[in-house]
Amino acid sequence: MKVYFSHGKESGPWGSKIRHLAAIAEELAFSVESLDYSDIQNPDLRVARLLEALKAEEDNVILVGSSMGGYVSTVASMTHAARGLFLLAPALYMPGYEHQIYPTQCRPLTVIHGWQDDIISAANSIRFCEEQRAELHLIDGDHRLNDRLPTLGALFKSFLQEIMA
């Protein structure tokens, strides 16, 4: 099974969070892929890039997204049957983004958001998780969550183990 990572608007495909989570996935025998969206500013064109990459996948995939990448992964999961969706401070309900409702059936579905996020309100993740009846972890952290890597790693490992069960 492969884990597809989607990075945020101003980060890259192998930032510290993705490297940390990818190492955990590989320890559990998942293959990993992290697409580079740095040449695309439009979130919906990023969704199209991810969906194009997913066309080649024969096995189940797990989608992981941070910030704008959370939007990208969520919207892709609405048309591609992913085996799981793991989101970090997802950019949902953002003005100017094409999709404002997210009827994903993807499970398990876990969202982590920092209480001190001054880029995307934690209220957006609360709303999404309430609508989806998804697992939500509100933690002491900012938008980047880089100072919470051990917590993110533990939650991601548990998420992957749930999929493996």
Q: What angle do CA 111, 86, 24 make, to 5 degrees?
A: 120
Q: Is 96 exposed, middle or buried (0-12, 13-18, 19+ CB in 10 A)?
A: exposed
Q: Report pLDDT for 59.
A: 80
Q: Report pLDDT for 110.
A: 98
Is pTM beyond 0.95 here? yes
> What's the token pair of residue 20?
């940390």
Map residue 112 onto helix, strand or coil.
strand
Quick check: 152 and 145 in contact, CB under 8 A?
Answer: yes
pLDDT tens per residue, range 139-154: 999 999 999 999 999 9
CA distances for 128 relative to 7, 84, 91, angstroms: 19, 16, 11
Quick check: 106 and 163 in contact, CB under 8 A?
Answer: no
> The CATH number of 2-164 is which of 3.40.640.10, 3.10.20.600, 3.40.47.10, 3.40.50.1820?
3.40.50.1820
